[in-house]
Every structure is written in structure tokens, then in C-alpha cells.
Amino acid sequence: MTSETARLTEWAVEKIRSEYPDDVALLVGVAGSAVGGDGHGEPFDYFVPATERGNELSQTFIIGGVGNDLYPRSWERTERTASLDDLATQCLGKAVILYARSKQDEERFEALRQKLADNLADAQFVYRKALENLEVAMNFYRTMMFEERLYKVRCLAGYIHQYLTIAVGFLNGTYQWEYALGVCKEVSRWPSLPDRFLEYYQAILAASTTSELASLAHLLISSTRRFIAGYRPEDAQAPEPPDFQWLASWYQELRTVWNRISYYCDNEDADSAFRDACYLQAELEIVAEEYGLGEMDLLGCFDMTNLDVLAGRAVELERRVIAAVEGQGVSIRRFDTVESFLSSTE
């Protein structure tokens, strides 16, 4: 800490002690936040208010061309940081306590720092958080698909990379924080990265068209999705065996959809066949994962000029479902006539 930053820290601490002794719990700096000698995070980064009045300490100012922001970060926000819901993780993990109102305030803060470390070491927890940040990146990508202005697409590409980096960092048990290193130098030190993760980012920096940026964003998301999938943790407890009686009931209910697809294909009604095939595809994906049925690709073969292929694929997948049910010794309730059904209920 230079003499200038030390003087600013002393000023802030004295202001708290003299004007807000009961209203501010902590004054905090953040190590590693400075870039190019700007001293950011060194004299102070934020304070934790203890009362509503404590928020009045907040102020911004410029000294020698360097901006300073003394801002409040509540206990509630610090809790969210420890839970990886507030993404400025370094504000807790790399924090330096410059002033504490009491030993209890300091201990409370350190407990939250330990909670952050414990969460980062929890494979199931970071996997869930990685998926959440992946979803944010994918939402940015969806927005990008309807944007034509280069500056907006470039900004969206930057945010896509940022949230994917957050996801990857969590799975590495860490987060990006040392700003002076830059993204590539810091991230390259992490033990495990998605395939071509930094290469795609470098290409985004060099891209000059919206189409390039969109293509690279897609590649970056795809690579990161595969990476995250590799971290899917095994359930701590053995899963309950799937209920094949339920699958039989599901099939009995959905049999009408197979009939409709067959009917529409026979009558060359591509519109209606496609509609029902989309519905059945979504249902098949759900049961395929739950019952270990393998990939259930119905729509991959859709061709509006040759619906026989779709009809054949639907029959093939139906047979797989029936075999899975009956292979478990579960009977499907099938009757040739109303009379046979009624007699079975007597």
C-alpha cells in the first residue's frame, strides 16, 4: 500500500469512527483489484453498513485522475456472494478487513468467507451454479440471434464469455479476480478448461462481423456445455429404481399420439404430423433420460416430402418403449374390443 492509499484508508477509518461508530460494521479492501497503479481496492473497496444510516457514508470522488467509490455492500449481499449468487466473488474471497466495529462483525465476515470456500469445494453445489451461469450465457445468445448491430452483438459475445468463464471457474473451485493479469493469463492457470476455450475467446477479440461473433459464441457455448456435463456429480444416494408401471401408464396415455402421427403421415398432412411429432419428441426425451432408453430421435428424420420415414421411426421408437416396459415384467393394458376391456374390470 502506497502512502497515498494509506492516507485514504486512514481518512475513511477516522470518518467511520467519528461519524458512524454504530452504523458501519466493516471497511473492506480487495486485494488484486488494482490495474496500472490506480490503487483500486487498496485504500478501500466497500463498507458493510450496520444500520440504514450507515449507507450515508457512501460517496464517489476523483483524485489525480483516479476514481474512488466508497460504496455499501450489505450483509445480505455478502451472504449471496458466499452462496455464489453475487458474482463479484473476489469481494469476499480476496477481501482485506481494514476496520471492524467489533470482533463479532469480523467473525461474521470470516464465517461467510469460509462458507464461500466450502461451497467452492462442494462438487454438487458448483455444478448447479455452473448450470445457472451457462443458462445466463445461453439467454444472451438467444438475444444475439435477433440483433444486427455490431456493437451490441460484440457486447453480447463478451457477456457470454464472461458468464461461461464464471461457470468454468466454479468447476475449478475458483473464480476470476486478478484483474491486472487479464482474462487469458489468469484463466490459463486453471487446471481444467473446455476444449479451445481460450482460442475461441481470442477469436472473439479479433472478430469483425456479427456473423463471426455469433458463430464463435455458439462454439464457445457448445464447448462449455460439454465441459460442464463432464462434471455432473454422482448422486450421493442411490437413485430410486424407475417405476416401469408409470411408464406403462404413460405409454397407454400417449398411444393416441402415435396413432395420430400414423394417420397424418398416411394422409400426407405434414403440418399436423410435425405438430404431434414435436409433442411426442418432448415427451420421449423426458422418459428416455429417466428410464435409460437411450437417445430417442424422432424428428431428426422429418421430411415433409416423405412422411413415410417419420411414420417408420415413430413405430421403431414405440417398439423400444414397449420392450422396456415388458422387459421389466410389467403388462401394458391392451384390449382388442370394448367387451374384453369391460370383462377385465368385473
pLDDT digits (tens, 9 = 90+) for 7-53: 889 999 999 999 999 999 999 998 866 555 655 656 788 999 999 99
pTM: 0.78
Same domain, 138 and 102: no
What is the spatial distance between Cα 72 and Cα 80, in angstroms, rounded to a whole number? 14
Q: Is residue 11 part of a domain?
A: yes
Same domain, 70 and 127: no
- Find where cell 477469436 sits: 203
Q: Are 99 and 27 in contact (CB under 8 A)?
A: yes
Q: Is residue 239 part of a domain?
A: no
Domain finish residue from 97, 120, 143: 120
Taking only the tens place, the pLDDT of each residue in 320-332 is 999 999 999 999 9
The reported pLDDT for the residue numbered 148 is 95
DSSP type of residue 301: G
Evaluate if residue 290 carries a pLDDT over 60.
Answer: yes
DSSP type of residue 172: T
Number of domains, the chain: 3
Percent of the chain with pLDDT over 70: 94
What is the spatial distance between Cα 187 and Cα 279, in angstroms, rounded to a whole number? 42
Evaluate if residue 179 carries a pLDDT over 80.
Answer: no
C-alpha cell at 95: 477481501
C-alpha cell at 290: 429417466
Q: How far is CA 19 from its chain centroid?
A: 42
Sheet containing strand 95-100, edge to edge, reads 59-63, 66-72, 46-49, 24-30, 95-100
Same domain, 214 and 264: no
Q: Is residue 236 part of a domain?
A: no
Q: Which residues contact residue 294 at a Cβ distance below 8 angstroms, ignoring those fewer than 6 apart?
A: 288, 320
What is the spatial distance between Cα 143 and Cα 154, in angstroms, rounded to a whole number? 12
Same domain, 92 and 181: no
Same domain, 257 and 314: yes
Q: Which domain holds residue 218?
A: 123-229
Q: Is residue 103 part of a domain?
A: yes
Same domain, 159 and 221: yes
